[in-house]
Structure 1
C-alpha cells in the first residue's frame, strides 16, 4: 500500500489496484465477470441466430446451414449446431435403417424362419391359393407346402415338425414369423409353448425383420416365373413349379453357406443327385399298356418328383391329370432347340430392322399446284452431272416426296407414294443433301399453309415471303 493506493500482487504481477476514498477502496479498471460467462453468453446468441436461420430457411438441415455460413451468406450465424427441433421430427421422421442381422446358430433347427405367401389370383390344378415355407437358418434348407386356406398352417407345421425332428434327431428351438393370425392363434401359441419353442415376431408392417423367409419367397417366385415362361405353361401350374423350385434351391450354392449347398450343410455330405434333374415342362413319354395295337407311350410334361416315390411326376395334357411313372423317356433337346430357334428369329428381326434403305440421290420434286407461291429451294449433288440444279419451287402443302429403294434384283424401283417422311429424311440429312435447321414460329411463313392462323398472323406470313396483297 503506497500513497493511498492498494495493490494486489501475485508474485511480480500486479493483479489489481484500489484507491482509498472515505475508508473504502475503489477498484481501478473494469470488472471482468469471467471468460466462461462471456463465452456462454456468446454461445447462446449464436445458437439463437442459428435457430433463426434454420426456421427462415424452412427448417434446413445442419449440413445446408454450414455450407451457407462458410460462404458468409447468413448474417450473424457462426456455429451451425442445431438443437432439438420438434417440428423437424414431426415433418421429417423416417424409418430406422435396417442392418444386416446375423444369427450365430450352432446347428440345424436352432433357428427356423417361416412365412405364408398368398393368396394367388390363379388357383393351381389342386385348388391351392397359398404356400407356407420353412427355412432352416443354419443350412438355409427350405421346405414348401401348398395350401388351399391359411388356417392349414398349424396342421402343416405339426406334420413338418414331427417329420423333421424324427429324421434329424434334433428339436426346433426358435421359430420366427410375422404377426399373421395363422401364427398368433391360440392353438399355434399353445403348441409352441408345450413343445418349448421360443417365438420371435416381427414389428407390425415391418417385413424386413423376417428377411430370410421373405427373400427366400422372392427367390422361389423368380424361379417359378422363369420356368413357366420357358415351358410355355399357364399360371395354373405355379404350385408344381414352386415345389420343384424348392427342390432346386436346396441343391444350389448359397452365399450364407460360403458357397456350399443347403443339402450339403444339412447332411454333412455333398449332394450327388444332379443327374436326375430335368428341365421343368420338357416333353416326356411315359410307358402305357392298353390294347395290343395302341401306342406303348403317351406324351406328357415333366413336373418334378413325387415325395417318397421313385418316379417322375408328369402332366398329361390329353387326359388333364397328373401321373407318376418310372418308365419315362425325356426330350430335353426339344426345348433347347426351341429356345435356340426363338433366339435366332429375334436376332433376324433385329438385323432386318436395323438395315437402312439405300436411297438414290434424286431431287425432292414437289407436285405443282394451281397457286404459285415462293418457297425455300433444295440443292442437291448429282453423281452424273457436275452442274448444280435448283429444284422448282412450288406450294409447300402439296409436296409429295418419292422414295426409290432397291428391289431384290438390284434395280431401282419407284414406289407410288412414300408416307414415312422421317425414315426418308434421316439418311438424306446424313448424306448432306438437305440442311435441317430450326425456324422460330414467328419466322416461319409455312404456318399459313399448314394450319389455321389468325388474320394478323396471315398478313405477317405474307410480309415474310414478300407478298403485299392477294388478288
Structure 2
C-alpha cells in the first residue's frame, strides 16, 4: 500500500448546481464542507461562487448597492438611466442574494389567515396580558402592575390591578370560573409565555374544562395584538383623565378601572358602532349616571352618624370610579383619606381639589390644612378661557359655602398675621403655573386663598418664599 499523500486535486471535490458551486475538502476518509469561522454570527454559510459575467442582474444588483430587483426592472423598462443592459428574461427567474438575506432580514408581517380571523362569537376566545407601570410609579397599596382580559368577540374587557405578576393566574381562573358558572362556553384563551400564565395550575384548570391555553411565541406581541394594543389605548385615556384633574400618580390603580368601565360603554368601530356592553350583555348601557373622574362629590352622612343636629349632612369626596362591591360610586373621602363606596352622593363636575392637598391626604397629613382647597375642573393649563372664568366663579361660591358650614372655626375668631391689603399673586403667569403644579404655592384661586390653607411649614417660610417671588418680579 502506498503511503504517499494524495495529490492536491484529489483532496477537493466540487458540487455544481446551476450558478452555485460547493467545495468539499477531504480529511482522512471523509469529505467536509468548508464553513466560515465560528466567530461569525451566522452559524454556517456555504461557500458560493457566482459567475457574475453570466448573470448581469447579479452584477448590477451589486453595483447599485444591492438594489431590489423590482427597482432594477423598473429602471431598465422605463429607461430612467442609460447604459444599463439586463436581459428581460432574467427578471422572470427567481433571484436570491445571500448577502441581502443576511443583512436585510426582517420579521415577517403578521397577516391573519382565514383561520386566524377575529371571532365574532362572545366568550369563544379570551386574550390576556399584564402591563408594568414601572417600579418608580407604585400606586396605592403598592400596586405596580395591571392585568387586562378581553373577550375577542365583543371587545368587552376586565381590569385587575396587581402587586405582583403572579396574581394574574388567580384572576384568570376566577373570571373563567364565573363565566363557566353562567353557562358560557370558552374555547380558547391566548396569553404570552410568561410564568404568570404558563404554570401548572392554569394548565390543569384549562385542560379539565376543555379550554385551549395558547401561548404566543417569544417576542411576538403581534400574535396577541388585540390586548397588547389595548394596554396603550387605556393607559392613554387614563393619563388624559388624571392630567385634566391634576390627580397624583398614586391614584392610577383607582382611575384605570373607571376608564375600563367607561370604555365598555363606548362605541367602537370594531363592532360597527356598537358598544361592548351591548354586544356581550345584550342591553343598552345607561350613561346618565357617569360623572367626570376627579370631580368633587358630597356624600350623604347617615343620621345615625351625625353627632348633633348642626353637623353637616354631607361630606366632600373625590370621584375615582364606580363601585366594585356594590352599585354606586367609588370615592376618596376628603376628610379621612379613606376609599368609600356609596350611591348617595351629589356631584360638582366643575370643581376638583388641589393636588398638594390630595398628596397630603394620602400621607395622612391633611391636618396641615384648615380648609379643603377647591380648584376648577379642568385645571388651569387644560381649560379654555371661557371654562376657566366660569369655573373660578363656581369655586368662589363653593368656598363661601364651605366657610359658612365649617365647624373648624368659631364665630368671631380673627386670623392673625395676614395683611388684607397684601397684593394678590397673579396665577396667570406661566412661571407661577409650574409652581402651583408642584404644590409650592396655593391651590386656591379666590381672594381668601391664604386664609383657607395652613402652610406645610411656618408662616415665616411662606413669607420668605413670597419675598423671593417679588425679587424675580413674579408678584
TM bucket (normalised to shorter chain) is 0.5 to 0.7
Q: Structure 1 length as normaliser, TM-score?
A: 0.60
Residue matched to 1:366: none
Residues 196 and 229 (structure 1 numbering): CA distance in 2 closer, same or farther, change over 3 Å? Answer: same
Alpha-carbon contact 2:173-2:202 (below 8 Å) kept: no
**Which residue of the partner structure matches residue 277 of structure 2?**
263
Q: Is the 8 A contact 1:46 1:77 kept in 2?
A: no
CA shift digits 1:348-378 (9 cap, x unpaired): 99xx99xxxxxxxxxxxxxxxxxxxxxxxxx
Describe the SS at the equivalent of 1:143: strand
| CA 143–62 in structure 1, closer or farther in 2 if over 3 Å, else same | same
- 1:135 pairs, out of 142, 150, 162, with 150
1:366-407 per-position Cα deviation (integer Å, ceiling 9, x unaligned): xxxxxxxxxxxxxxxxxxxxxxxxxxxxxxxxxxxxxxxxxx
Are 1:163 and 2:163 counterparts?
no
Q: CA–CA distance in 2 between the matches of 1:75 and 1:267?
A: 66
Instruction: Report the Cα distance in structure 1 between the residues aligned to 2:226 and 2:287, rounded to whole angstroms.
Output: 26
What residue is the counterpart of 1:361 in the other structure? none
In structure 2, C-alpha distance between the alignment counterparts of 1:283 and 1:99, rounded to whole Å: 47
**Contact 1:313–1:323 (CA under 8 A) maintained in structure 2:** yes
Q: Residues 335-350 of structure 1: matches in 2 within 5 Å? A: 338-339=377-378, 342-344=383-385
Aligned CA RMSD, in angstroms, stands at 3.0
Paired position in structure 1 for 2:242: 228
Distance 2:287 2:191 in 1: 32
2:72 maps to which of 57, 65, 71: 65
Partners of 1:46 and 1:78 within 8 A in 2: no
Say whether 1:275 aligns with 2:282. no
Structure 1 segment 33-432 matched on structure 2, within 5 A:
48-69=55-76, 70-71=79-80, 73-74=82-83, 76-79=85-88, 81=91, 83-99=95-111, 103=117, 105=119, 107-120=121-134, 121-167=136-182, 169-271=183-285, 273-288=286-301, 289-292=305-308, 293-334=310-351, 338-339=377-378, 342-344=383-385
Q: Which has the higher contact order (CA 8 A, sep 6+)?
A: 2
Distance, in Å, in 2 between the alignment partners of 1:160 and 1:330 is 33
Q: Distance in 1 between matches of 2:330 and 2:264?
A: 19
Distance in 2 (alpha carbons) for counterparts of 1:270 and 1:222: 26
CA shift, 1:107, in A, is 2.6
Listed one character per residue, the Cα deviations across residues 124-168 of structure 1 (whole Å, up to 9, x for unaligned) are 21321111111111111101111111111121112111122223x
Structure 2 CA distance for aligned equivalents of residues 45 and 128 of structure 1: 64
Larger radius of gyration: 1
Distance (whole Å) between structure 2 residues aligned to residue 212 and residue 71 of structure 1: 44
The total of aligned residue pairs comes to 307
Consecutive unaligned residues of structure 1, counting only runs of 5 or more, are: 1-43, 354-471
Residue pair 1:116, 1:132 contacting (<8 A) in 2 also: yes
Query: TM-score, length-normalised on structure 2?
Result: 0.59
| Cα 1:229–1:183 shift into 2, 3 Å | same
In the TM superposition, 1:9-24 aligns within 5 A as none
| Alpha-carbon separation, structure 1, partners of 2:291 and 2:351 | 13
Distance 2:189 2:133 in 1: 23
C-alpha distance in 2, partners of 1:164/1:49? 65
Deviates more, 1:101-110 or 1:115-124: 101-110
Q: Deviations over 1:3-61 (max 9, x none)?
A: xxxxxxxxxxxxxxxxxxxxxxxxxxxxxxxxxxxxxxxxx998612212222232222
